[in-house]
Amino acid sequence: MLREAGLVITPAERERFEVADFGLNELEKTGLQIITYVNTERSCAKEIIMTPGQTCPEHQHPTIGGVPGKEETFRCRWGIVYLYVPGSSSSPAACVPPAGSKPYYTVYQEICLKPGEQYTLAPDTLHWFQAGPEGAIVSEFSTRSTDEADVFTDPRIKRVPEVV
């Protein structure tokens, strides 16, 4: 997908390729593939690679100890990604939550991002997103990423992998 989108990834970046299944063991439905280019005290840049219909579960980046949560801009590079945020529900919605997880999805205002389109989320904004039928590649530009502090609506989610 990265080649098809014309995105060049270095060998060092390939080594940092992260696969997140959120502890649900259903990567084809719920998960992300992520390459983090930079994550400093002030900024972060990532490439999010999603297979067809793959969903990032509903979550928010909370304010902690007076430090505002992550502000992030999603820019679609390839495919289509559907972003859901608080507001009026879109009807009919293009996407549905993964089977068995619907009770944990509460925001349904739909924003459809096609290549070259972007959307910025304020800190503490509840959101989820799902790739279209061909998958999607989304560049994320944000303030510092502290994924381990993300708050998910679904209590089954584990953002940081657990090795047993």
Cβ atoms of 18 and 34 within 8 Å: the answer is: yes
Provide CB contacts within 8 A for 163, sequence distance 6+: none
Q: What is the pTM of this model?
A: 0.94
99-129 core/surface letters (b: 16 or more CB in 10 A; e: else): eebeebbebbebbebeeeeebebebebbbbb
Reported as a single tens digit per residue, the pLDDT across 12-51 is 999 989 999 999 999 999 999 999 999 999 999 999 999 9
Domain boundaries, the chain: 11-152
Each residue's pLDDT tens digit, 73-91: 999 999 999 999 999 987 7
| Pairing of β 44-50 and β 127-142 | antiparallel
Is the domain defined by 11-152 classed in CATH 3.40.605.10?
no
Residue 147's pLDDT band (cuts 50, 70, 90): confident
